[in-house]
């Protein structure tokens, strides 16, 4: 049995209009470019009345839009629960090296209210904690960062000091160096650790 009345699916032009809306495009030409098809081919799809299953499935996968809404125009455009979940890569930090460790699903409510969500998030796990980092940043400022120093990666506390220098602390002895002497990978935005 169907989860929604499939016989209520409208003409292909109505479905494709909703696909354009789900992507946030302002024109059909943008949709044609996104699907790497000629505008005349897309125009034919709007006119012929056949359900554009390939485009709908891809739209669901890429935008998270509801299949029911795309197909019939009924129900929610997006499922709210899915919009609150972020999926991003996870890495394990072992002996100064990063290793792929699949993906993590993370609820956005764990981030501080009012703070922007990480633009390019990654989770890094070591033996003590999990660190949620943002790999996209305009500049380095005081705080905890994932850095690579002479081939070894670790979470360090960085403190800016005058003339493009930084004090590196947190593991072993603190030292000062030029910002260009270290490779800053990402800023720690959240730490998840077990209680003692």
Q: How many CB atoms lie within 10 A of CB 44?
A: 13
- Mapped to the 3 state alphabet, what secondary structure does 175-187 carry? EEEEHHHCEEEEE
* CATH 3.40.50.300 for domain 6-80: no
Task: List, by residue range, all CATH 1.10.260.40 domains of the chain.
Answer: 6-80
Task: Tell me the pLDDT of the chain averaged across its residues.
Answer: 87
Q: Rg (Cα) of the chain, in Å, rounded? A: 23
The domain made up of 84-193 has a fold known as Umud Fragment, subunit A (2.10.109)
pLDDT mean by block of 10 residues, the chain; 196 residues: 58 88 85 90 87 90 86 79 76 96 85 83 94 94 96 96 94 92 96 81
Parts of the chain belonging to CATH 2.10.109.10: 84-193
pLDDT of residue 131: 97
Q: Record the pTM.
A: 0.59
């Amino acid at each position: 049995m169907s989860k929604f009345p499939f016989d209520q699916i409208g003409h292909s032009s109505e479905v494709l209009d909703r696909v354009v809306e789900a992507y946030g495009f302002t024109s059909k030409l943008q949709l044609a470019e996104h699907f790497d098809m000629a505008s005349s081919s897309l125009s034919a799809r709007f006119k012929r009345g056949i359900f554009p299953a390939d485009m709908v499935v891809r739209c669901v996968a890429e935008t998270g839009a509801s299949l029911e809404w795309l197909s019939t125009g009924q129900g929610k455009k997006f499922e709210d629960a899915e919009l609150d979940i972020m999926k991003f890569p996870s890495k394990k930090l072992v002996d100064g090296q990063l290793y792929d460790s699949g993906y993590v699903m993370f609820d956005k409510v764990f981030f501080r209210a009012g703070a922007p969500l990480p633009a390019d998030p990654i989770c890094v796990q070591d033996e003590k904690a999990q660190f949620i980092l943002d790999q996209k940043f305009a500049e380095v400022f005081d705080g905890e960062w994932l850095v690579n120093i002479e081939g070894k990666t670790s979470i360090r506390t960085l403190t800016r000091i005058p003339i493009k220098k930084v004090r590196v602390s947190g593991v072993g002895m603190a030292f000062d160096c030029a910002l260009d002497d270290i490779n800053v990978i990402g800023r720690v935005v959240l730490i998840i650790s077990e209680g003692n």
